[in-house]
Amino acid sequence: KLSVGIRKQWYHAETGSGQISFNKPVGNVNFTNIFNFPKDELLSFDCAFRTKGDEENTHLEKTITSFDLSISKSFFKKALYIELKATDLTYDRTQRGRTLNTNIEILQYNKFATRALQLTLRYNFNLMKGRYLGTNAGKEERNRLK
């Protein structure tokens, strides 16, 4: 799955330095891949990209790229599920921006702690193999409602 988008605004603000335009577009690209292998294995690879640009009264001054990877497998006729997931492999989810108001300029740098390794184990008890639907189930009730 590939998603591509551009956000563009036509915004001008009065600041202490005069009128400033906040009209540089911001581009987003998200790419999601899921590979399904035989024997109930899944491999997922996600990529996100955001360009520099303007959002409201903030100049975003850094391009952000991030990658996530996960692998999962089911065992015992899908009763046991194991997933290993790594997020933010490039450790690049940072944000640097300059916000301008009438008499204030704010320079902000955020380094998000999003790099992680996660192991998920899930066991499903009493998996239903099939469900009893009965014969003529509810026939009497359907006849009553006619």
pLDDT digits (tens, 9 = 90+) for 60-95: 888 888 899 999 998 887 788 899 999 888 877 777
Residue-level pLDDT at 127: 62
Ramachandran region, residue 138 (left: φ > 0; alpha: ψ -120 to 50; beta: rest): left
Residue-level pLDDT at 137: 65
Query: In what helix (H) or strand (E) does residue 83 lie, and over which residues does it extend?
Result: strand 80-87
Question: From the first residue on, what is the mean pLDDT of each consecutive set of 10 residues in the chain (146 residues)?
Answer: 91 78 91 87 91 85 88 85 88 77 78 84 75 66 78
How far is the C-alpha of 44 from the C-alpha of 89, rounded, in Å? 13
Residue-level pLDDT at 66: 87
Radius of gyration of the chain (CA): 26
Residue-level pLDDT at 61: 85
Are the beta carbons of 71 and 81 closer than 8 angstroms?
A: no
